[in-house]
Structure 1
Amino acid sequence: MSLYDDAHGVLTGWRATSPPADAARARTIDLLGAGPVAMTRAHRPGHVTASTLIVDERRRVLLCLHGRLGLWMQVGGHCEPGDASLAAAALREATEESGIAGLRLDPEPIDVEVHAVRCAPADGRPAEASWHHDVRFLAVCPPGAVEQVSDESAELGWFAPDELPSPLADGVVQQLAPAFARLDDIRQM
């Protein structure tokens, strides 16, 4: 199965966690009507990305201060040709950007959000206006793991859900309730 087929299957079968997530899911399914190119930065009207909200045993979330945007957000980014699935892309990005090995990723999304970005195509052309159709996942951090700042982050930090940093990217807060509900479901399994 291709990354595109996986994305289409995940999004058409996913039960949205909120009305905004359902609207974003529908927009993303429409975007996928362009075909596999919608999974790549080459598709200038927008493309699918994958991100991860990392949670530790104390129910804190790991956020990165994005180096270019100057906003605190979950880790994640562009899908790559070698990614077999959206979940694999999310796990790869989470591992690269957090420096934490052994993350346990839940393969069921917790959120979908569509947001405007200035994104540089992979071919080196200047950044242009585009849209990220971000499919968001939950990962549980192994006990005692230590995060490491990557090239894409100015800083990483653990935060209690009621003590989030500022400035915070739009859409971070809407992930918290579905993430913690899913975390509770996973722990009961």
Structure 2
Amino acid sequence: MPIPEFIVELREKIGHAPLWLSGVSVVIRGDEGRVLLTRRADNGLWAVVSGVLEPGEEPASAAVREAKEETGVDAELVRITSVDVTEPITYPNGDITQYLDVCFLARWTGGDAHVADDENLEVAWFEPDNLPSDLTDTSRLRLEKALQDKAEAWFSAS
């Protein structure tokens, strides 16, 4: 999916200045415990499924939507696993963004995993103990917290 229209409109007003956004990510586990990752087109790195919330959108709805839009799979959310703030990100076009991210653990419920948008180059299942070395730092954190199978969500207390 291209840049959401509301962000395009904001960028027309603020240019490349830092923009604070709400995001979601989702760690999708398959039947055998493998996790679904995407290779991002913007940086070439592997990552968990993630995306920006549309204005007024519930985080849970956004997580399910992003899973379908990016990978073609259906997912059932299990729980929130972490809430964190990313470091500022500078995109190739010069836009600077920082995200408040709510991460969910989800169970794969159907659909064949494939590249379903223009934001990703590859989609693949990985064993949790054999993750790709070129994984984003934020995805490492989110996977670590989601795969601990703790009932409570992780957040930074500092």
- TM-score of the two chains, using structure 1 as the length reference: 0.63
Cα offset, 1:96, TM superposition: 0.7
Contact 2:25 2:102 in 1 (8 A): yes
Amino acid at match of 1:99: G
Q: What is the aligned counterpart of 2:114 among 115, 126, 148?
A: 148
| Structure 2 gap segments, 5+ residues each | 1-5, 152-158
Q: Taking CA–CA contacts closer than 8 Å with sequence separation of 6 or more, which of the two structures ends up with the larger relative contact order?
A: 2
Alignment pair present for 1:106 and 2:106: no
Hey, which bits of structure 1, 4+ residues long, moved more than 4 A? none
Contact 1:113 1:135 in 2 (8 A): no
- Residue in 2 aligned with 1:64? 38
Distance across 1 between alignment mates of 2:25 and 2:70: 10
Alignment pair present for 1:133 and 2:89: no
Q: Percent identity?
A: 32
- Residue in 2 aligned with 1:158? 125
Amino acid at match of 2:33: R
- In structure 2, relative to structure 1, the CA distance for the partners of 1:111 and 1:59 (3 Å cut) is farther
Amino acid at match of 1:165: P
Cα offset, 1:110, TM superposition: 3.1
Alignment pair present for 1:47 and 2:5: no
Q: Which has the higher helix share?
A: 1
Give the root-mean-square deviation of aligned CA atoms: 2.4
Matches within 5 A, 1:68-83: 68-81=42-55, 83=57
| Structure 1 gap segments, 5+ residues each | 1-39, 121-125
- In structure 2, relative to structure 1, the CA distance for the partners of 1:51 and 1:176 (3 Å cut) is closer
Distance across 1 between alignment mates of 2:95 and 2:62: 23
- Residue in 2 aligned with 1:168? 135
